Amino acid sequence: MIQFPENFLWGSAASAPQTEGHGSSNGKSPSTWDKWFAMNPEKFNQHQGPEHTSNVYELYEEDIARMQAIGMNSYRTSIAWTRLLPDGKTVNEEAVAFYRDYFQKMKAAGVEPIINLFHFDMPWWLMEKGGWEARESVTAFSFYAKTAFELFGDIVSTWATFNEPLVHIECGYLYEFHYPAIVDFKKAVQVGYHTLMAHVHAVKAFRESGVDGKIGIILNVTPAYARSDEPRDLEAKEKADLLNTKSFLDPCVLGTIPDELTALLKDNDLLPETAEGDKDLIREYTVDFIGMNYYQPKRVQAPVNPKTPAAMPEDFYAPYDWPEKKMNPYRGWEIYPQALYDVAMMMKQDYRNIPWFVSENGMGVAEEERFMDEDGMIQDDYRIEFMQDHLTELHKGIQEGSNCFGYHTWTFVDCWSWLNGYRNRYGFYRVDLEDNYARSLKKSGLWYKELSRNNGF
């Protein structure tokens, strides 16, 4: 029996834009996703847009009962900035009533709400002013954060500022998967810097709010592994870790941007514009905890013909196809549970052993109906095996002293996923898009109930 620490968090994660629905109603203003879908629906899988998603706006009470039914003691979701402050200034009272009831009913059911402020859903009114490229975004986000703390701080005691900030940076400004879908390394760095400062100012607002609780940030971690011990491959690994891990983890936990990262950006004419006093704020307003979203590692090698100055991250490190890899063919991601142990050790040894939790881990599979039994239950043994393998490695790290306090899967009910729509499913509950978003339990949900009940497996 693998036992986890007392009061360990067992739960799932999701987001407002991927689950709530009611994307253009109840006082909500458009986000970049709403506008992009209106402009280019052909980019979205089966023309599945953000309007309805999984209809949690109407079904949240029943969903909370389903959380209880599979033993969840915690749940992370987000507030939609566009719903709470449709114009960035005026509070939408209907949104306040919705979120307060949602969070209170969660707590009453023994499910601790962990509430995130931003999950890729940039308000359109701010995008028209430049989005994260504009320094104004820092002030706007700080005001939104302050408003959320004032309105919900009596219910919510665990907050996160951003989910996976690297994703909206990379996907929006390097790889064309998020709006504005441009390729500009220098803009990407500036967007990253303003995102960091927005986070810092939100932490400052939290500290000044008097709210009783803790605040952190949710980062996606893709540990880099070098092809070989050759110096150039190891240098590629170091640069990959600087850009993909240390760029946010160091300032958020240690209060400093790595000197090596600053030098790398300077040498490649990529330094962002900053403001006086930023360094002091970064140093002062560090986090109470870190959430780590882990899905896959990053295999790297030295680039063959890098551009100087760098035009893309691949000029610093090239992908390496590890011949021994095990793949999730539906998502195109390597399955490598051992990296979760390495992450646990990194947090212990390099980041003051700050409290942290696995804030996302999961396996997306397409056409899961293939695995449905005669009673209508999806037999997703592949998902159970995935969780077992990752939890085994996580447990090793905890046994060796890493300060991990929880494990959340992606996700609770099948949700909408950006350009991919509902192509890959991750939930403990299936969502039937043809039957008014009806939920049905998968086998993995039964396994998770036993995991939570036993605090191990």
Cite the beta strand spans of 19-109 per DSSP E. 74-78
Mean per-residue pLDDT, 310-319:
97
Q: Whole-angstrom Cα distance, residue 363 to residue 383?
A: 6
| Nearest one of 187, 314, 196 to 249, comparing CA atoms | 196
Residue of 238, 334, 360, 393 marked catalytic: 360
Stated pTM of the model: 0.97
Mean per-residue pLDDT, 140-158:
98
Give the pLDDT confidence of 415-428 residue by residue, as tens digits: 999 999 999 999 99
Instruction: Inform me whether the pLDDT recorded for 331 exceeds 90.
Output: no
The per-residue pLDDT for 25 is: 96
CB atoms within 10 A of CB 182: 11
The per-residue pLDDT for 237 is: 98
Q: Is domain 9-454 annotated with CATH 3.20.20.80?
A: yes
For 303-329, the DSSP string reads -SS--SS-SSGGGT-EE---TT--EET
For 358-404, the DSSP string reads EEE----EE-GGGGB-TTS-B--HHHHHHHHHHHHHHHHHHHTT--E
Q: Band the pLDDT of 232: cuts 50, 70, 90.
A: very high
Give the pLDDT confidence of 433-451 residue by residue, as tens digits: 999 999 999 999 999 999 9
Give the pLDDT confidence of 104-136 residue by residue, as tens digits: 999 999 999 999 999 999 999 999 999 999 999
Based on the residue annotation, tell me whether 368 is a catalytic residue of this protein: no
Give the pLDDT confidence of 248-290 residue by residue, as tens digits: 999 999 999 999 999 999 999 999 999 999 999 999 999 999 9
Mean of per-residue pLDDT scores for the chain = 97
Based on the residue annotation, tell me whether 374 is a catalytic residue of this protein: no
The per-residue pLDDT for 257 is: 98
> Domain ranges in the chain?
9-454
Instruction: Inform me whether the pLDDT recorded for 393 exceeds 90.
Output: yes
Instruction: Inform me whether the pLDDT recorded for 220 exceeds 90.
Output: yes
Residue of 112, 164, 238, 368 marked catalytic: 164
Give the pLDDT confidence of 59-106 residue by residue, as tens digits: 999 999 999 999 999 999 999 999 999 999 999 999 999 999 999 999
